[in-house]
Chains A and B, each alone.
Chain A
Amino acid sequence: MNTAFATVVALLALGAAGLVPVAGAVGARWVTVPLAPLGGAVLASVAATASLSFGGALITWFVALAVVSGVVVFGTWVLRPELGPWVGPPNRRRPGRARHRLVGVVGFLAVVVACAWSLRGLRTPTVGFDARALWVMRPGWFLQSHAQLLVDMKVRGLVLTQSAYPPLVSASTAVAWHVTGVHTARLGVTTVALLNVCALAAAALALVESGRDAALRLARRTDSAAGGDVPEAARARPPWAPMVAGVGAAVLLVLVAAGVTEPFLTNGYADPIWSIAAVGAVAFGLQARSDRSTRAAAAVLVLVAGMSKNEGLVTALALVVLIGARSIGGDGLRAGWRRWSVPVGVGAVELALLAWWPVLMHAIDARGASSTFTASTDLASRTSAVLHGMSPYLHVLVLALPLSIVGGVMLTAVRRRSGFGNDVWAWLALAVGLVAIGAALVTGSGAILPWIRSTVHRITEYPILEGWWIIGYWAVVAAAGTSVRSAPTGTVERPSDQDAVGTGAVGTEGSDPPAQSVGSSVGVSR
């Protein structure tokens, strides 16, 4: 079996395992397609952790987890058909429905083509240094017996302290090796590269869906502003501008991200997958409309980020808290427990899954699991070195920040009307990631200058990508702003980030926003 065919088989195996649980949580949406293999990768990671914890072969755990999660989802669909992916929002016939669907299809295909184009670096058979030493070497350990796996993880003579890093990349490669019978570093690299672009496609599709969502909202509010009960023929069509901007920004984001993450996007490193997945989690969890589907997409991406690398783990833990806080909101705290019990419960499950591997590493006294915090008192010079080392890579923030300020001052009303979350959430997530990485460097025990020089271009991928995502986000908001028309006053908009509109669904148009959201003039804002 050649590497290309084996990679396809591996991705199909991961996708098959992840499809049902992801479809059950996210629904039948375009983003479910790239999320399915990522869901399979999460299952592989959990399987590796369970295998190390309790014994048994990784592949047995992987199949068992896939079957159990599939049965649970199907059982839920049988018992509560209203939760099935085939149940869409009210499918009212509206003018412009065809163009709305068309943009969804075109956006998905454009993102797929951009991702495929960005993978052309795979034609060069590079296997990165760390990839060969760790990420696509460790899969062999996961396929050994439980007793031998424990030895591999613990024995000090192997020197490699990074083997305690989270397992998603290696576990996915182990599944790929097992199902194809091809045990090569190259297959590991190609499998990881495809998972990278799945995460990238998911993050980019958040922009496509946000643009389509914004267009629907603007059309509906124009209807409402014109009197509410508008005859069907006179209803406003979703404007093209935000939808086209969403597709354009998504495609450009893919190309930008490929440039930022190469050569690591296609040489087996774990930095791109956690960075891109974290950006996707921010996109769905903190920037898109907040509903069950987007929160589920965010949860998958948070788990991918947190199970891929230590930096991703710290960032993912913070994202769980931020997404939970946004889901509950100030109103939720004052409301009954039903309002916040679900977000808190989901967050607790995510935290437990994320914490399982690092806790296990400490429990078995794995090599590299002990603290590496420095006893140095020269934290000031280390902090200075980190700041000076990282700042040349963060020039995108010099553009994103003023754009964000201008948008925040001038386009907040448009943003709210279009259903976008406040970008302060994204900045918080960016800051958390930066602080996590910076703190690890400042408090680490390694010599700071060589450490910075050899890693800074990889560890800053997340803040760089987040910065570019924020720019893309404002591009779509601004495109929506060019489509806003003045409407008569006499009604008040009480916008909310909690508005739920199912516009991302494949083949469905989406439900109406809550009744209290009524069209208003441009300047009305909370």
Chain B
Amino acid sequence: MNPFPLVLATLRRNRFTAILFVTVIALAVALGIAISAQERALRLGSARAADRFDLIVAAPGSQNDVLFSVVYLDPTAVELLSPEMTAAVLNGGRADFAAPIGFGDNFNGDPVVGTSAEFVDHLSRGLAEGRLFTRLDEAVVGALSPNRVGDRLAIRHGHADGLSGNDADAAADAHEAGEDHVEAEEEPGHSHVDVAVVGRMKPTGTPWDRAVVVPVEYNWFAHGMGTGHLPGETRIGAPYEAAPGVPAIVIKPENLAAAYGLRNRYRTTESTAFFPAEVLVEIYAVMGNVARIMSGLTLAAQVLVVAAILAGILALLDLQRQRFAVLRALGAPGSFVFAVVWLYVGTLIAGGALIGLPLGWGVAAIVSRLVARETGVAMTAQIGIAELALVGALLCVGFLLALVPALLTYRKPVVEALR
């Protein structure tokens, strides 16, 4: 006998209860899927964002702080490398380039970062529009920056530790005149040095997509630290003959052996060197632990939901015991009644799980978009093997647990049930 017509009829007869059960299971499953998919999106997004920052050298201290400042442009107060160490690293060889990084300023809330044109080209894999900066008062903007090529930007200085109050023309004129130091005016925390936007980067999936990137000489000059070059020198870029201390230097080693060699060379009492991924892996370990705890809690919640629903189903079936008993009295075999109950319960659990999977993915996609907007780190939530395994496990457990009401109904004596 085909049990499906009766299963469908039972579902239809109790459709509101069925919808309620399926909804509750779907929500519990969606929660688990969303946590799992979001954790992976965060991990992959942050790892890929750091891909182009091959090796970072900074002053000894928290590598996490340096990483977050340089890659994710979340500036914290990091120590500067000494001018001697800066010069040694910038001119250390075995690298395609060594790019100083300076940060701390902002334009309309977006970060202003100083570095070299080579690093901009490396990070962006070529520009989307315009050209790289060739003068101290030129800038390249990130792919998502609201500023356009041709705009002139009056940059505010976030720190009151250097020069302030000079305008672009004065700065550029002084630079062109070969002056390497401009007296700061007493206007704490603010100065206005215009820069012209000459290019736009391709999307990098990093917070640099919203940044205004200027030559590092601009940072040094605007903060009264010279230009990093000999007096009278007006060019920008390496070599930096008189570089002051910088918060960090990004190195692109010439090959893999050089990468490890340089990492080892600059792990000294005066500097630290690290691959971003090695710091991220430690963060992921903590993040993974948190995700595992949360996944455990959601799994427990799912089991409780299924258990509660089974209790509800048992009560529902108890109300319908006479109908099943009538079926048996009319000659339906026990196995038919068993199959009807098992399929009924299994359908509710499978329906909830299968709706929960895309629902969870949708939640993770929305959260990913919000986090990406907040942090600038591109991330995409995807359903992977872990999420499919989670749903698969719930389906297996659900179909096993569905045997309980099926067995109870099967074993109930017909005469007793008919009373």
A joins B in a complex: no
> What is B's interface to A at a CB cutoff of 8 Å?
none
A interface, CB within 8 angstroms of B: none
